[in-house]
């Protein structure tokens, strides 16, 4: 395609959707405008639309651009292509700054301080757009969500045309094709709420000021909600988020299953999400080095290296000399995986910064009961007094969700973990990166390394235990005996550290989404007890405007940016930047459906 026809094509897409006129007329009350594109190519449509948006749209509006790419360009290739278009130089620099590794899946990117989000889907358009819809059924594809406002379509199969139509509304415009017809199918997924949530006031209370609560608060605030956070502590991040050096723990796999796919999506988003904090001096984007725990894991590492070969910005397979050079200390492992875009953070400070930067107030109260009254949630303290109320409530207080009658069915476990502070030595002070294996150890901070962590089920104390210090040191030595040699002898009797509790789930995945109204929900789907494969003709019944965000185990820093976006899009009725099957793998009602099918309830 020659340059004049390319320029004309991009102008035509903007003009056919009448974007200049529509964006100039947007009300100043704020909102979201969504564009869909069937082929990202080298991003010219996205850059042209972004330029026009920044020049014409009100500043309190957000542009969501959703685009697929069956054969995505690498960052180097994209840079080379876009170098020919100096008119987009500033926009191109922002795009390249957040452009992800070219691995299959959905990548959520934010540009221009959140004014523009790019949902970049690496895969065939007909598959990927179907995966972000609410259902395979055209009639439910955008159930309780806003339609796409405009489309840039280059070529579309019959299946893609049906999905495009299903995601569109009566006022949706289309460039590059005529309007589509679609057929309705019959199905009623359990995860869809039969009642559309009321949002007259757009007030939200987040219960819990850890990393789950604070990321959710920030995600909702940028969508125009009036958000407050409430916690029993007067300062954010004082429980599981209170360690001085927490790591973004990477876990990759060659298996195409929900857990590894969610882990991959989460760590890629987390590396971008925390970049401004690292740049501001919070923690260190020093990279994370993972060494194999046994011979089987070593074979997995080789397979992972083959799968993600050439994606050095994401992960690199290192031999022993490279391990020693990267880590800064002598190591004995003969190979390892290095994640250069990850590192460690002080999670309590991150929680506090998330609230401060978005001007989100923190209310201090110990909540004991939740009551729905007059279309609002009332949060009652230990004196049965209303501490705060709002139209929408997000429960993000980890295993504390067990105390409320609305969420006590969730199968969460309170699991104690203790970290140890190891004194640095003349050798270990040279450690330049986080090292993970049987356990983990961080670079030195104020003369000590964070090392951990134990898993103590059924133990309910935050007092430090010497046997757990010993266990952490043993784990560290098992990770790589070079670590023990670098550190030298440690005095466990007077060792510092910290103990608190994780909130874990049976399937090791977070819990994020709306809370089912259990009595009605069980009745609606009781037929699953007799036939686990039965198609039950009912949408689900959910608690009005009640959501939960917990169960992240020891990976809260990694999961929270992704799950907070999922939660916020669910509440706001937006298209979610994650495949539907992965969202359902983290849905709060999944446990009820599984237990019904297995006749446990």
Give the CATH number for residue 478: 3.30.9.10
Which tokens sit at 260? 């590894």
pLDDT tens per residue across span 339-369: 999 999 999 999 999 999 999 999 999 999 9
Whether the bond between 453 and the residue before it is cis, its omega within 30 degrees of 0, is: yes
Taking 70 as the threshold, does the pLDDT of residue 178 lie above it?
Answer: no
Clarify whether residues 440 and 402 are in a common domain.
no
- Using one digit for the tens of pLDDT, what is the confidence trace for 392-408? 999 999 999 999 999 99
Domain assignment present for 140: yes
pLDDT (0 to 100) of residue 186 = 47
Mind giving me the DSSP string for 470-502?
A: HHHHHHHHHH-HHHHHHH----GGG-EEEEEEE
Residue 436, beta-bridge partner list: 290, 440
- 8 pLDDT more than 80: no
Average pLDDT of the segment spanning 23-50: 95
Q: CA dist 571 to 49, 79, 394, 502, Å?
A: 26, 36, 10, 26
Q: Give the CATH number for residue 362.
A: 3.50.50.60
432 falls within a domain: yes
Mean per-residue pLDDT, 310-326: 96
Residue 364 burial (CB count, 10 A): 12
> Residue 199 is encoded by which pair of tokens?
């949002």
On whether residue 389 sits in a domain, the answer given is yes
User: What does 15-34 look like in DSSP terms, one character per residue?
Assistant: HHTTHHHHHHT--TT-EEEE
**C-alpha 107, offset from chain centre:** 10
Same domain, 230 and 333: no
Burial class of 430 by CB neighbour count within 10 A (0 to 12, 13 to 18, 19+): middle
pLDDT at 177: 62
- Whether 22 and 84 map to the same domain: the answer is yes
Looking at the structure, tell me whether residues 100 and 66 fall in a common domain.
yes
Q: What is the predicted pLDDT for the residue at 10?
A: 62
Q: Which residues have CB under 8 Å from 473's CB, separation 6+?
A: 420, 422, 451, 484, 490, 492
Residue 163, pLDDT > 90, answer yes
d(CA 47, CA 61): 17
Question: Tell me, what's the pLDDT at 255?
Answer: 87
User: What rounded mean pLDDT belongs to the chain?
Assistant: 93
Residue 6 has pLDDT above 70, yes or no: no
Of 130, 160, 175, the position where a domain reaches its end is 175
Shared domain for 151 and 56, answered yes or no, is: yes
Share of the chain above pLDDT 90, in %: 89
Q: What backbone torsions phi and psi does residue 514 show, to the nearest 5 degrees?
A: -75, 150
> For the chain, percent helix, then strand, then coil, each to nearest 5?
35, 25, 40
Q: Is 23 within the bounds of a domain?
A: yes
Q: CA-to-CA distance for 429 and 444, rounded, in angstroms?
A: 6
Please answer whether residues 291 and 437 qualify as being in contact, where contact means their C-beta atoms are separated by less than 8 angstroms: yes
How confident is the model over 514-571, as pLDDT tens digits?
999 999 999 999 999 999 988 888 899 999 999 999 999 999 999 999 999 999 999 9
Model confidence at 382: pLDDT above 50: yes
State the pTM of this model. 0.94
pLDDT in tens, 425-446: 999 999 999 999 999 999 999 9
Inform me whether the pLDDT recorded for 7 exceeds 80: no
**464 and 403 assigned to the same domain:** no
Burial 296-322 (b: 16+ CB within 10 A, else e): eeeebbeebbeebeeeebbbbbbeeee
| 397 and 431, same domain (yes or no) | no
Q: What is the mean pLDDT of residues 223-234?
A: 97
- Report how far residue 475's alpha carbon sits from residue 419's, in angstroms, rounded to the nearest whole number: 11
Rounded to 5 degrees, what are φ and ψ at 448? -135, 155
Residue 444 and residue 452: Cα distance in Å, rounded?
14
Quick one: pLDDT band at residue 187, thresholds 50, 70, 90?
low
Please state, in angstroms and rounded to a whole number, the distance separating the CA atoms of residues 80 and 421.
47
In 99-235, which ranges are continuous DSSP H helix? 125-132, 158-166, 211-221
The C-alpha atoms of residue 248 and residue 271 are separated, in whole angstroms, by 8
106 in the same domain as 168 = yes
Q: Are residues 358 and 407 in the same domain?
A: yes
* Inter-residue contact 116 to 53 (CB < 8 Å): yes
Reported confidence tier of residue 12, pLDDT bands at 50, 70, 90: confident
Domain extent, residue 162, equals 3-175
Domain with residue 102: its CATH number is 3.40.50.150
The answer to whether residues 457 and 564 belong to one domain is: no
d(CA 542, CA 545): 8
């Amino acid at each position: 395609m020659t340059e004049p026809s390319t320029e004309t094509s991009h102008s035509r897409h903007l003009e056919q959707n009448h974007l200049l006129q529509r964006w100039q007329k947007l009300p100043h009350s704020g909102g979201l405008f969504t564009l869909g594109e069937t082929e990202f190519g080298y991003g010219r449509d996205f850059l042209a639309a972004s330029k026009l948006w920044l020049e014409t749209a009100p500043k309190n509006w957000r542009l969501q651009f959703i685009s697929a790419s069956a054969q995505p360009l690498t960052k180097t290739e994209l840079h080379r292509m876009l170098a020919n278009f100096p008119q987009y130089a500033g926009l191109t620099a922002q795009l390249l700054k957040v452009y992800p590794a070219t691995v299959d899946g959905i990548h959520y990117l934010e540009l221009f301080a959140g004014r523009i989000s790019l949902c970049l889907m690496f895969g065939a358009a007909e598959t990927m757009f179907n995966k972000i819809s609410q259902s395979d059924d055209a009639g439910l594809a955008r159930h309780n969500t806003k339609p796409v406002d405009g489309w840039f379509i280059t070529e579309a199969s019959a299946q893609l045309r049906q999905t495009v139509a299903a995601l569109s509304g009566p006022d949706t415009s289309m460039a590059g094709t005529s309007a589509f017809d679609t057929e309705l199918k019959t199905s009623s997924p359990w995860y869809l709420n039969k009642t559309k949530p009321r949002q007259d006031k757009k007030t939200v209370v987040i219960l819990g000021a850890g990393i789950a609560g604070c990321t959710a608060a920030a995600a909702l605030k940028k969508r125009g909600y009036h958000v407050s956070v409430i916690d029993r502590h007067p300062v954010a991040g004082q429980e599981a988020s209170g360690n001085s050096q927490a790591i973004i723990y990477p876990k990759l796999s060659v298996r195409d299953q929900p857990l590894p796919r969610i882990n991959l999506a989460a760590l890629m988003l987390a590396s971008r999400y925390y970049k401004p904090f690292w740049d501001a001096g919070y923690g260190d984007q020093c990279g994370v080095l993972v060494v194999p725990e046994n011979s089987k894991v070593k074979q997995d590492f080789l397979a992972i290296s083959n799968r993600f070969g050439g994606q050095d910005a994401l992960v690199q397979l290192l031999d022993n000399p490279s391990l020693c050079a990267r880590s800064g200390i002598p190591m004995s492992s003969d190979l390892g995986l290095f994640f250069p875009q990850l590192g460690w953070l002080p999670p309590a400070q991150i929680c506090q910064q998330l609230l401060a930067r978005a001007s989100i107030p923190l209310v201090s109260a110990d909540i004991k009961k939740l009551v729905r009254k007059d279309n609002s949630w009332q949060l009652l303290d230990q004196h049965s007094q209303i501490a705060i109320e709002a139209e929408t409530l997000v429960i993000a207080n980890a295993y504390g969700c067990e105390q409320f009658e609305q969420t006590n069915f969730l199968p969460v476990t309170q699991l104690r973990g203790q970290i140890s502070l190891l004194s640095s030595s003349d050798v270990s002070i040279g450690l330049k990166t986080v090292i993970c294996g049987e356990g983990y150890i961080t670079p030195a901070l104020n003369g000590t390394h964070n090392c951990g962590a134990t898993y103590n089920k059924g133990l309910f104390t935050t007092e430090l235990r010497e046997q757990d210090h010993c266990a952490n040191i043993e784990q560290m030595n098992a990770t790589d005996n070079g670590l023990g040699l670098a550190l030298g002898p440690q005095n466990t009797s007077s060792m510092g550290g910290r103990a608190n509790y994780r909130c874990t789930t049976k399937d090791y995945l977070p819990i994020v989404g709306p809370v089912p109204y259990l009595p009605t929900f069980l009745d609606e789907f009781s037929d699953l007890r007799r036939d686990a494969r039965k198609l039950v003709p009912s949408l689900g019944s959910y608690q009005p405007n009640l959501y939960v965000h917990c169960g992240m185990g020891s990976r809260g820093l990694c999961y929270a940016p992704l799950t907070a976006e999922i939660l916020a899009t669910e509440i706001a009725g937006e298209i979610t930047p994650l495949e539907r099957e992965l969202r359902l793998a983290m849905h709060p009602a999944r446990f009820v459906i599984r237990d019904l099918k297995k006749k446990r309830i």
